[in-house]
Amino acid sequence: VQLLVEKILQLPSAARYILQYLSCIGSSCHESTLGLITNQVLVSGPFPALDLIIEEGLLIKEGAEYKFAHDQIQLAAYSLIPVNKRDCVHLQIGSMILKHASKERMDSAIFIVADQLNRGAKFITDEDQKVKLANLNLRAGEKAMSLGTFSSAVAYLKSGIALLDMDSWARTYNLSLQLHSSYAESLYSIGQFSEIGQAASKIIVSAKNIGDRLPAYLTLIKAVAAQKKVA
Burial 215-229 (b: 16+ CB within 10 A, else e): bbeebbeebeeeeee
The percentage of residues in the chain with a pLDDT greater than 90, rounded to a whole number, is: 76
Dihedral angle, C-alpha 95, 146, 102, 67, nearest 10 °: 70
Following DSSP, what letter does each residue of 157-196 receive, concatenated? HHHHHHT--TTHHHHSHHHHHHHHHHHHHHHHHTT-HHHH
Higher pLDDT, 140 or 1: 140
Q: Note the pLDDT of residue 227.
A: 81
Q: Note the pLDDT of residue 100.
A: 87
231 has pLDDT over 90: no
Q: Please compute the mean of the pLDDT values over residues 10-32 and round it to a whole number.
A: 92
Task: Give the Cα separation of 106 and 31 in Å (integer).
Answer: 14
Predicted TM-score of the model (pTM): 0.90
With beta carbons less than 8 A apart as the criterion, state whether 35 and 25 touch: no
Strands (E), the chain: 28-30, 59-62, 65-68
Encode pLDDT of 73-125 as tens digits.
999 999 999 999 999 999 999 999 998 888 888 888 999 999 999 999 999 99
